[in-house]
Structure 1
Amino acid sequence: MTPPPLTQVVLKVHSRCDLACDHCYVYEHADTGWRSRPRVVRDAVLGRTAERIGEHAVAHGLTAVRVVLHGGEPLLAGSAVIRRAAEALRAALPEVCDLDLRVHTNGVRLNRAYCELFDELGIRVGLSLDGDRAANDRHRRFADGRSSHPQVLRAVGLLREPRFRHLFAGLLCTVDAANDPVAVYRALAELEPPAVDFLLPHATWERPPERPDRLGATPYADWLLAVHARWEADGRPFAVRTFDSVHRTLSGLPGLSEALGLEPVDLVVLETDGTYEQADSLRTAYDGAPATGMDVFRHSLDDVLRHPGIAARQAGPAGLSATCRACPVVRSCGGGLYAHRYRDGSFEHPSVYCADLRTLIDGLAARAGTVARAAPSSVDVAGPGLTDAQLGELALGLGGPETVRSLARSQLALTRAMLAAVHGSAGLARSAAWELLTELDAAAPVAVDAVVAHPYVRSWAARRLTGDPGAGLGPLAELAASAAVLAGRGDVMTVPVRDGTLHLPTLGRLVLGGGVREARVTGGRTGWTARTDDGALTGPGDPRWQPVRRIGSIALEDVDPQRAAHRWPVADRLSDTAYAGWARDLRAAADLLDRELPDYAAGLWAGLTTITPLRPGPDGHDLSSAARQAFGAVAIARPRAAPTLALLLVHEFQHVKLGAVLDRWELYDRTDTRLFEAFDLSPRPIGSLFQAVYAHLAVTAFWGTRANAGSPTARSRFTHWRALTDEAVDLLAGSGALTPMGERFAAGARASVDPWLLPRASREQPGDGTGRDRPLERARS
């Protein structure tokens, strides 16, 4: 596979420092390479470095690159060197690629002239500061023992001035467990930084961190959790990369730090002599640990990508020790910082901070609330709750009821964690909706699960977490109100009325009209009531109430405002006649699938919870969709005939299943930008090809089974789709873009298609031998 490109470059412009910090990984740890390097970077190195970064950006189509001017202390290089570096970098990058240029300094030499230069050149500034004077002076001193604290505070003061505030990137604080965590936090918070990054002091198993007995078994986790408690109580006044990374990874999102999560490394260091090195943190392992043997004059950044050390840090779970791979928090921890794993000549060990990381992650997960209790974190071979045999079913394109239910449980856990991240990212110190959800989760978890499992809850949460301005926080109160109604305990929840409508997910909507801003919803044993802000009392008997209608256990969702998550426009509220037509056609489609395609139907009925009607397609064309962030739902424009509805159901549910698989496993190289032509469609990337192949396994089986019944139309369509699917499977398998798990799924697709290529007499359709669960039966009795 093609490794992901390098998008972050640490460019050393000076190789010495004017402080003598005793915890410095450059000058106080195992590596001594700095001694032989020139103090100041040469112009030739700057020019060639800029060219290498520019060519890498062009080759990989990068739209942004971050370069950090570093050292030593970069301000020792002088303003002229910094100007030449900035100008060379901007000139070398293509117009479509933004340059995020920063400098990281100890702050001692930062003055107004430098701030004016950085303002001119668009360079943001990060500062190192370990807290108040007592905390900072434990390590960050001049060689003669003098404190550096006054100079750093002066530097922060400059960056807080209105003219330069936009340059302030944040503070870096190295944790010392002997310092008072609350005092450190308060000292940093008083400076109003935009962000703070708390770093564990660099250490290895051979040079372990200090652990005073009086501080317990996990002093670094305890220290960070104490800071986190104060930070939360203050309403999260600034970003903290450590905490934000854990919250994101608990939600299944990428981390924000090299020290946490499983994302591949995308950083390289360039020394003052033009040599490429791996992360500076490796200097703590052994002398020469970060070296690559490459330089900007002879090697490109693509050459660096192929270095074994870089590759090892892009291997994800496969690059971790067996202990780490089996750990339930590995998706958040990622094995810790690579350098911290070093022991006996190898990095294939857990982090020397393993116990601290586990305590920290568990602690942050618990504080997110019990709604996040099942946050996905395992990367076992079969994933949480999924056996290897079940994974084999899915690889064939199938999946029996228990297999699909296992996927549903995994998706529910992910949605719960995403809700916790939504609440956390909103910066709400107290939230009535969240407190009620948490309380109900302890007292009536079935009610909470019933609401959280609604497909469009996750759809909204995903939009919210990606910064969609249209995804407000109102749905959190709606979820709490719906859960309260289902729990029937008499809880009261104030819910915003949006566009004149009160929405209760999974239950329905109450159309109140304009002028009403909110309603107090009370859920009791005999139903629910809603009192609007003008004092009017109403409930489910109100003619303005439009409940979610069901066909058996499948919701025909035509009222939830979050349902507009599909590629086609959704239909408005259906008339009673239209609803009756849907019910009739769905039961007929279910009979057909159970009779003719039982191995696909079994999993379909176990996982399909919601059908969202779409508006009719142009010229009567069939339309259907499965939203990537809405497990359990498919959207369909009601077709003319029940067999077409059956085909669309099984086709779209293939996308639903594969989406859940992709939340657990990487099946292909996401950085592969090639386009592939298949199924007589426009060229599409590898991910779309994979989805198309997986969906058409069911399409081929559908028409193959119908062709066996003797229908000339079915035989023609079977011949057509069988040939296209056969070609697409070969294209997928030979793409060179698949992971080992992806190759397993490609082999499964081949095993599913091959029997359809045989003469009819010798054909045997693959099956899983599982039973079926019919959710529509109740509606027939």
Structure 2
Amino acid sequence: MSRPPAPFSQFVLKVHSRCDLSCDHCYVYEHADTSWRGKPRTVSERVLAATADRIAEHALAHRLTAVHVVLHGGEPLLAGPAVLRRAAELLRAALPPGCALDLRIHTNGVQLSERFCDLFAELDIKVGISLDGDRAANDRHRRYADGRSSHAKVLAAVELLRRPAYRHLYAGLLCTMDVENDPVAVYDALVELAPPRIDFLLPHATWDDPPKRPSGAGPAPYADWLLAIHRRWTAQGRPVPVRIFDSVHRTLRGRSSLTESLGLDPADLVVVETDGTLEQADSLKTAYDGAPETGFDVFAHTLDEVAGHPGMMERQSGLAGLSADCRSCPVVRSCGGGLYAHRYRSGRGFDNPSVFCGDLMKLITTIRDRVAPATTVPAQPGPSEGALTEAQLAELATGHGSAATVRALASAQLGLTRRMLAALSAAAPEPWSLLAELDTTAPDALDAALGHPYVRAWAVRCLDRDPGADLGGFAELAAAAALRARREFELPVPVRGGAVHLPTLGRVEVGGAGEAVLRGTPDGFTVRDVTVGWDDPGGGAWQPVRRVALPGWTLALEDTDPQRDSHQWPVTDRLTDGELLAWTGSLREAWELLGRDLPEHAAGLRAGLSTVTPLRPGPAGRDVSAAARQAFGAVGIARPGTAPILALLLAHEFNHVKLGAVLDFHDLYDPADDRLFHAPWRPDPRPLEGLLQGTYAHLAVTEFWATRVHAYAGLDSPAATHARTQHTTWHTHTATAIETLAESGSLTPLGTRFTEIMRSTIDHPGARGSADERLRRGATPTSENVIRA
């Protein structure tokens, strides 16, 4: 099956077409395109409403779970609070149930005030700031029209965002490079402002209007400039994510890029101008006058029509859309031909390498050579380590899993976590030494800490060089394990967002940032000027992980660990006492229902599910839940309105968790098959593992609705009709997906037998013995470890 064009998920909405600065490197006003002169200064209500409707229409058609909108300009703050408020309100009101809005604004910062920040806090609008470094660097280009410096006002804007009340709005800093600026001074000035992320952008240029290259600077001055920063950034332990470096690291390992200027990921962005015209990426304004135009607008055209524009299609064509020189380049999968606009040359259009080709080549190859090969887990599983017995696999294939079988999965997952930590140990010798000592003197306390679901999620991010991870988690983990063991110790730990985080235990608010020394005793611990006693924690600084005690099962409601944001839906902040009480009541009712109606799911849940992470509610009418592939033992759920639906979500998501653990040690399909397959419950085709995961999870959904049908037997009511409709729908969907899996031709012999049992379970829920026998015939579980660092 061919891959369909990617729907748009990112939108740049121009709310004002003029600017209060006169930056001489601006692509909007200082390059080839002059269309800004004819645009309305401020976006109208009519354009905002039509834009919101078009985005909502697109999200509904493509079942998008989230859209990302950036309010832009010109300078968007010039539009004023009323227009920005209206834009946010219209966008949120129009989106269909189940689609979240990630709303941001990008500004030069000189107009930012408490009034704007209060508005953004109310409307959940994140704020990115353009700043080119220290005053000397910033004033080289970012000045007022009369030559005045903008630097002091931008710093004031950043300091405003760093206040505790607004810190959650601070999205990062964007810096346009100038090779005549001192790269380390620029970097240091930006890092000093503690941004959540830094974006370094190459200045916009084409083959017709090439970038400046100072005499004596060498053949790749932009690479040299960035590599000087990369060296310092690496030596400091990568204190802040840097998008261009993180993208190079990721693409060198075959992962997706974080920026459109690198990698081969299809473009999924469209721009809405103040007059409602729909355009390609703004960067094209640097190529020639009118380059971004599509001829479409929000009033007369759908976004699917825009996606069919030749320019959009070319930017979604991956390797095939690049020049012949690029396609034969050894670093093309990292470079991706560079930013599309930077390839332009009169007479040849965009069928060229980037004008920064030499710089990108040097940047990527140097980083590749500097970074040691990805560390691999040293102790690979042996022939039987982690592999389940034939009977256990047969049991899991029904969608269930006894307590003993799920405990076997958990034990294997703990072994994987230990190997991952060993692979990272050289980078954190002090915490590793403490963990190694605890492994001998307090192994139960250590296992309790290592078994926390988000420890493995963090370790995988570190092994993948993910920008969202850092090795400070090692110290947090070691401190938590030592505190569990009631040991006396001292250990430097990171301070994130004003708090020290201790996996499985909680977090303590200490203020500030950087690092603090945590001193543990048998009775508690002290960090900075805060003392926490186990018998009398006192004060409000200590926020322990709250646990819900159910009959025979205790669940952690995890709302403190920063690594918990591993799901495909945003997590909640700390639960209020009222929210905690509501969760407790819902979980008690759901657990009672599971034990009564789905006992074979309840047994596995009790043995393997330790953590529920509260997620933010979805739009009205949409139940939200998720399982993270690398977080065994946790599920994320937005508390639904009824206990039966909570029971359904727990069983459904834990099936995802179980199958992910199986796939770590048993090959059920050929991973080389990169085709996409139709899943009856989704509009977008899925890779084979995604289809397998969805099918397996829906065994639980089908069984849940079957129990509801049974409960309503002989009754004629809306609830009974709803249950019968749901059961018929999910039974049909799941059976259809099983046939698609069986006919794919890419299942292993073990995967074929696993799928046969799923089919037998759907067709004959009571006939599991014969399925057991089918699995045993010739079944030889493999032990291929699918961790990819």
The TM-score normalised by the length of structure 2 is 0.54
For structure 2, the residue ranges without an aligned partner over 5 or more in a row are 377-415, 434-455, 490-600, 608-656, 700-730, 761-789
Q: Which residue in 2 is equivalent to 1:19?
A: 21
Matching residue's letter, 2:253: S
Q: Which residue in 1 is equivalent to 2:103?
A: 101
Asked if residue 29 in structure 1 is aligned to residue 31 in structure 2, the reply is yes
Which of 1 and 2 has greater Rg?
1
Preserved contact between residue 264 and residue 336 of structure 2 (Cα < 8 Å): yes
Q: In the superposition, relative to structure 1, how do residues 98 and 110 fare at CA in structure 2: closer, same or farther (>3 Å)?
A: same
Q: In the superposition, relative to structure 1, how do residues 199 and 695 fare at CA in structure 2: closer, same or farther (>3 Å)?
A: same
Preserved contact between residue 14 and residue 273 of structure 2 (Cα < 8 Å): yes
Asked if residue 351 in structure 1 is aligned to residue 401 in structure 2, the reply is no
Q: List aligned pairs for 1:703-714, cutoff 5 A.
A: none
Partners in 1 of 2:738 and 2:140 — Cα distance?
A: 55
Q: Which residue in 1 is equivalent to 2:438?
A: none
Deviations 1:685-723 (A, max 9, x none): 9998775435468769x99xxxxxxxxxxxxx9xx99xx
Percent of aligned pairs with the same amino acid: 57
Tell me the SS of whatever aligns to 1:314.
coil
Equivalent in 318, 321, 329 of residue 320 of structure 2: 318
Matching residue's letter, 2:187: Y
Shift of 1:313: 0.8
Partners in 1 of 2:307 and 2:21 — Cα distance?
A: 33
Q: List aligned pairs for 1:133-282, cutoff 5 A.
A: 133-282=135-284
Q: In the superposition, relative to structure 1, how do residues 19 and 515 fare at CA in structure 2: closer, same or farther (>3 Å)?
A: closer
Tell me the SS of whatever aligns to 2:362.
helix
Shift of 1:253: 1.8
Q: List aligned pairs for 1:452-531, cutoff 5 A.
A: none
Q: In the superposition, relative to structure 1, how do residues 181 and 257 fare at CA in structure 2: closer, same or farther (>3 Å)?
A: same
Shift of 1:345: 3.6
RMSD value over aligned CA atoms?
Answer: 4.7
Deviations 1:447-505 (A, max 9, x none): xxxxxxxxxxx99975777999xx9989999xxxxxxxxxxxxxxxxx999999xxxxx
Equivalent in 39, 50, 55 of residue 53 of structure 1: 55
Deviates more, 1:347-356 or 1:131-140: 347-356
Q: In the superposition, relative to structure 1, how do residues 238 and 498 fare at CA in structure 2: closer, same or farther (>3 Å)?
A: closer
Shift of 1:213: 2.8
Asked if residue 362 in structure 1 is aligned to residue 358 in structure 2, the reply is no
Partners in 2 of 1:37 and 1:275 — Cα distance?
A: 10
Partners in 2 of 1:685 and 1:81 — Cα distance?
A: 50
Shift of 1:336: 1.0
Q: In the superposition, relative to structure 1, how do residues 627 and 498 fare at CA in structure 2: closer, same or farther (>3 Å)?
A: farther
Matching residue's letter, 1:673: D
Equivalent in 731, 734, 743 of residue 693 of structure 1: 743
Partners in 2 of 1:685 and 1:213 — Cα distance?
A: 68
Q: In the superposition, relative to structure 1, how do residues 684 and 35 fare at CA in structure 2: closer, same or farther (>3 Å)?
A: farther
Q: Which residue in 1 is equivalent to 2:295?
A: 293
Q: Which residue in 1 is equivalent to 2:684?
A: 673
Q: Which residue in 1 is equivalent to 2:337?
A: 335
Q: In the superposition, relative to structure 1, how do residues 299 and 696 fare at CA in structure 2: closer, same or farther (>3 Å)?
A: closer
Partners in 1 of 2:328 and 2:738 — Cα distance?
A: 31
Q: In the superposition, relative to structure 1, how do residues 459 and 34 fare at CA in structure 2: closer, same or farther (>3 Å)?
A: closer
Q: In the superposition, relative to structure 1, how do residues 370 and 248 fare at CA in structure 2: closer, same or farther (>3 Å)?
A: closer
Deviations 1:136-190 (A, max 9, x none): 1111111111111111111112111111111111110001111100100111111
Q: In the superposition, relative to structure 1, how do residues 207 and 631 fare at CA in structure 2: closer, same or farther (>3 Å)?
A: farther
Partners in 2 of 1:244 and 1:24 — Cα distance?
A: 25
Q: In the superposition, relative to structure 1, how do residues 29 and 327 fare at CA in structure 2: closer, same or farther (>3 Å)?
A: same
Shift of 1:41: 0.6
Tell me the SS of whatever aligns to 1:215.
coil
Q: Which residue in 1 is equivalent to 2:12?
A: 10
Partners in 1 of 2:25 and 2:247 — Cα distance?
A: 24
Tell me the SS of whatever aligns to 2:743.
helix
Q: In the superposition, relative to structure 1, how do residues 474 and 142 fare at CA in structure 2: closer, same or farther (>3 Å)?
A: closer
Partners in 2 of 1:194 and 1:327 — Cα distance?
A: 33
Shift of 1:328: 2.2
Shift of 1:30: 0.8
Tell me the SS of whatever aligns to 2:294.
strand
Preserved contact between residue 464 and residue 472 of structure 1 (Cα < 8 Å): yes
Q: In the superposition, relative to structure 1, how do residues 476 and 371 fare at CA in structure 2: closer, same or farther (>3 Å)?
A: farther
Partners in 2 of 1:168 and 1:515 — Cα distance?
A: 38
Aligned residues: 489
The TM-score normalised by the length of structure 1 is 0.55
Partners in 1 of 2:664 and 2:80 — Cα distance?
A: 60
Q: Which residue in 2 is equivalent to 1:577?
A: none
Shift of 1:627: 7.9
Q: Which residue in 2 is equivalent to 1:127?
A: 129
Tell me the SS of whatever aligns to 1:294.
strand
Preserved contact between residue 497 and residue 517 of structure 1 (Cα < 8 Å): no
Q: In the superposition, relative to structure 1, how do residues 79 and 369 fare at CA in structure 2: closer, same or farther (>3 Å)?
A: same
Q: In the superposition, relative to structure 1, how do residues 464 and 129 fare at CA in structure 2: closer, same or farther (>3 Å)?
A: closer
Q: In the superposition, relative to structure 1, how do residues 83 and 459 fare at CA in structure 2: closer, same or farther (>3 Å)?
A: closer
